[in-house]
């Protein structure tokens, strides 16, 4: 939360409509995303109940588990989800064999309603990836494959810059501020309706209306307890009874359950695609393609590993792996912040708010200034100096390294910060280097800010410390548990009861 977002929320309260807090879209959005809305049975550890899933908004596919507490039916669900939807969708992005340094042209993107569905995906992956396809507890071959990929997707969802598995509430609330709390934004229906209410209603009214779970079933994976009590209990009992009879009675009972589950999923399906439309209405930010490139590369690498017969992911990371991963995630977070600020003036405004950036007008520009470095001969290095007059507080101190998003390759060092008489403006001197060609004359026009130009300078830079070196897992110190045994799936993993 920042003051700018808080202000946007206040404006949303006043106007009755959600307010944008981003001017461009900061997440990748596939041309053909796969929408996945899972439901689970209350009280059980990750017992799938139903899912509405597909990449065609006109043709959602309903998968239902008719006795969610029966482990065989759970695996049938997993197999059907794998074979009819998820695996063909993923495979569709992995045709051919790209070179060692190349990535597939595109990658799969799975959209789920919210963070709880990401957890569901992770746990479904966890409960299926170790399954054995032979022996007493054999499952269909597609089940552990599904587990492999769901685990991969859920892991990527923890990467701040990844869009492979995207929770819709998170994506929408990153771009719009509603007039309700963050907790209430977790409700997909009320969030979407704050942003885009039906005609004749304010966002506030539409969102409040969407809080009635009877009219607007929860987006899952948890179901409405009243639905469980009033509808589901009876239908599941009916199916159990009909199982003894079989034939038409059983088909009828299953049909009734499927129809009831569909009522709990259809509105969420529509909301998910409405969310897709809303996100598409924003132009894509400049750094999004680069981040998606990382996703494509990650997908490609993992597909290669998978096809080479890679083991399922371990239950837990060893100490070294965990530390390296954390460090990578932190770095990605920082990269995401910088990229977003460069792409989006509303994000940059947040840094101006905290003094990490300032905006002003260039009043002087010495394009041919050169500096003689100690011990070097010649004309000296080209170090133009500009003066920026800012009509706002400048908290950047002398010697700070700054960058102008319009000239991201050019480095600046603050030489002087001086409030002007009268206190209305601040005069900032910045020395520039790089990005001006190799000529011997002054910096060519257009390679650096010109007098009269409005510029933003920020201490946020795209330069990062190199990732710290971690020891090889084999060298894990004993204080961190010693070297982990290399992960090899054991029989125990596959035989774990799932009841």
Task: Tell me the window of 151-159, 273-281, 375-383, 466-474 that interacts with other proteins (CB under 8 A).
Answer: 273-281
With tokens 């039906």, the residue in question is 198
Among 97, 241, 364, 368, binds other proteins (CB under 8 A): 241
**CA distances to 10, 297, 401, 434, 465 from 397, in Å:** 33, 39, 9, 21, 21
Query: Are the beta carbons of 379 and 370 closer than 8 angstroms?
Result: yes
With tokens 């770095």, the residue in question is 331
**Ranges of H-type helices in 309-375:** 319-343, 345-353
Q: Does 345 bind other proteins (CB under 8 A)?
A: yes
Instruction: Quote the CA–CA distance of 158 and 430 in Å, as a whole number.
Output: 38
Cis, peptide link before residue 221, omega less than 30° from 0: yes
In the bound state with other proteins, the residue whose beta carbon lies nearer, of 37 and 192, is 192
Q: Does 316 bind other proteins (CB under 8 A)?
A: yes
Q: Are strands 110-112 and 34-40 parallel, antiparallel or unpaired?
A: parallel
Q: Which of the residues 175 through 234 are near other proteins (CB under 8 A)?
A: 176, 179-184, 195-197, 202-203, 211, 213, 223-226, 228-229, 232-233
Contact code string over 45-64 relative to other proteins, x by CB under 8 A:
xx------------------
Distance of closest approach, residue 438 Cβ to other proteins, in angstroms: 33
DSSP assignments along 357-395, one per residue: EEEEEEEEEETT-EE--TT--SS-EE--EEEEEESS---
In the bound state with other proteins, the residue whose beta carbon lies nearer, of 470 and 498, is 498
Q: Does 20 bind other proteins (CB under 8 A)?
A: yes
Q: Does 91 bind other proteins (CB under 8 A)?
A: yes
In the bound state with other proteins, the residue whose beta carbon lies nearer, of 252 and 280, is 280
Distance of closest approach, residue 374 Cβ to other proteins, in angstroms: 40
Q: Which of 493, 445, 495 is nearest to 126 (CA)?
A: 493
Instruction: Quote the CA–CA distance of 241 and 57 in Å, as a whole number.
Output: 35
Distance of closest approach, residue 236 Cβ to other proteins, in angstroms: 9
What phi and psi values does residue 425 have, to the nearest 5 degrees?
-130, 165
Among 315, 328, 401, 409, binds other proteins (CB under 8 A): 315
Percentages of the chain per state (helix, strand, coil), in multiples of 5:
40, 15, 40
In the bound state with other proteins, the residue whose beta carbon lies nearer, of 18 and 111, is 18
In the bound state with other proteins, the residue whose beta carbon lies nearer, of 354 and 440, is 354
Query: Are the beta carbons of 170 and 188 closer than 8 angstroms?
Result: no
Distance of closest approach, residue 453 Cβ to other proteins, in angstroms: 13
Q: Which of the residues 412 through 471 are near other proteins (CB under 8 A)?
A: 424
Q: Does 7 bind other proteins (CB under 8 A)?
A: yes
Q: Does 70 bind other proteins (CB under 8 A)?
A: yes
Q: Which of 163, 194, 134, 189 is nearest to 34 (CA)?
A: 163
Size of the site for other proteins (CB under 8 A): 104
Helix (H, G, I), strand (E, B) or coil at 456: strand
Task: Tell me the window of 141-149, 163-171, 265-273, 330-338 that interacts with other proteins (CB under 8 A).
Answer: 141-149
Q: Which of the residues 29 through 48 are near other proteins (CB under 8 A)?
A: 41-46
CA atoms within 13 A on the CB side of 194: 32
Residue 371 has a CB neighbour count (10 Å cut-off) of 12
Distance of closest approach, residue 269 Cβ to other proteins, in angstroms: 20
DSSP assignments along 231-286, one per residue: IIHHHHHHHHHHHTT-HHHHHHHHHHHHHHHHHHHHHHHHHHHHHHHHHHTSPBPT
Q: Does 267 bind other proteins (CB under 8 A)?
A: no
Distance of closest approach, residue 433 Cβ to other proteins, in angstroms: 27
Distance of closest approach, residue 3 Cβ to other proteins, in angstroms: 4
In the bound state with other proteins, the residue whose beta carbon lies nearer, of 90 and 112, is 90
In the bound state with other proteins, the residue whose beta carbon lies nearer, of 3 and 327, is 3
Task: Tell me the window of 319-327, 341-349, 437-445, 462-470 that interacts with other proteins (CB under 8 A).
Answer: 341-349
Q: Inter-axis angle of helices 71-80 and 115-128, to 10 degrees?
A: 110
Distance of closest approach, residue 252 Cβ to other proteins, in angstroms: 13
Instruction: Quote the CA–CA distance of 331 and 496 in Å, as a whole number.
Output: 37
In the bound state with other proteins, the residue whose beta carbon lies nearer, of 202 and 461, is 202
Among 31, 99, 100, 244, binds other proteins (CB under 8 A): 244
């Amino acid at each position: 939360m920042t003051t700018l977002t808080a202000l946007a929320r206040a404006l949303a309260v006043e106007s009755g409509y959600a307010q944008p807090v981003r001017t461009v879209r900061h997440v990748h959005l596939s041309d053909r995303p796969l929408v996945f809305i899972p439901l689970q049975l209350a009280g059980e550890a990750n017992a799938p109940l139903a899912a509405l899933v597909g990449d065609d908004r006109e043709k959602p596919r309903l998968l239902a588990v008719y006795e969610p507490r029966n482990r065989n039916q759970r695996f049938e669900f997993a197999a059907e989800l794998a074979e009819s939807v998820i695996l063909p969708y993923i495979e569709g992005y992995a045709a051919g064999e790209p070179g060692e340094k190349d990535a597939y042209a595109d990658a799969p993107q799975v959209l789920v309603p919210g963070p709880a569905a990401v957890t569901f995906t992770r746990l479904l992956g966890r409960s299926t990836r170790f399954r054995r396809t032979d022996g007493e507890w054999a499952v269909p071959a597609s089940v552990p494959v599904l587990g492999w990929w769901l685990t991969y997707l859920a892991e990527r969802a923890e990467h701040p810059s990844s869009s492979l598995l995207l929770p819709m509430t998170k994506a929408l609330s990153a771009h719009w501020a509603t007039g309700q709390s963050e907790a209430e934004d977790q409700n997909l229906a009320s969030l979407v309706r704050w942003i885009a209410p039906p005609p004749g209603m304010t966002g506030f009214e539409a969102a409040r209306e969407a809080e009635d779970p009877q009219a607007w079933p929860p987006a899952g994976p948890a179901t409405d307890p009243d639905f469980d009590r009033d509808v589901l209990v009876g239908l599941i009992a009916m199916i159990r009874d009909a199982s003894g009879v079989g034939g038409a009675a059983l088909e009828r009972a299953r049909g009734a359950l499927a129809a009831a589950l569909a009522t709990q999923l259809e509105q969420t399906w529509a909301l998910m695609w409405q969310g897709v439309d809303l996100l598409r209405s924003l132009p894509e930010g400049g750094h999004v393609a680069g981040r998606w490139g990382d996703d494509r590369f990650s997908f490609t690498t993992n597909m290669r590993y998978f096809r080479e017969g890679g083991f399922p992911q371990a239950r837990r990371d060893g100490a070294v792996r965990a530390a390296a991963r954390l460090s990578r995630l932190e770095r990605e977070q920082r990269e995401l912040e910088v990229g977003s600020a460069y792409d989006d003036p509303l994000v940059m405004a947040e840094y101006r708010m905290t003094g990490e950036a300032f905006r002003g007008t260039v009043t002087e520009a010495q394009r041919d200034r050169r500096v003689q470095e100690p011990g070097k001969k010649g004309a000296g290095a080209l170090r133009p100096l500009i003066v920026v007059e800012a009509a706002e507080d400048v908290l950047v101190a002398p010697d700070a390294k700054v960058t102008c998003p319009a000239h991201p390759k050019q480095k600046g060092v603050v030489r002087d910060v001086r409030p002007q008489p009268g206190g209305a403006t601040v005069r900032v001197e910045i020395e520039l280097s790089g990005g001006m060609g190799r000529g011997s004359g002054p910096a060519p026009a257009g390679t650096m800010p010109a007098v009269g130009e409005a510029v933003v300078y920020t201490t946020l830079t795209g330069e990062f410390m190199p990732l710290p070196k971690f020891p090889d897992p084999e060298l894990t110190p004993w204080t961190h548990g010693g070297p982990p045994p290399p992960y090899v799936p054991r029989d125990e993993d596959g035989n774990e009861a799932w009841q």
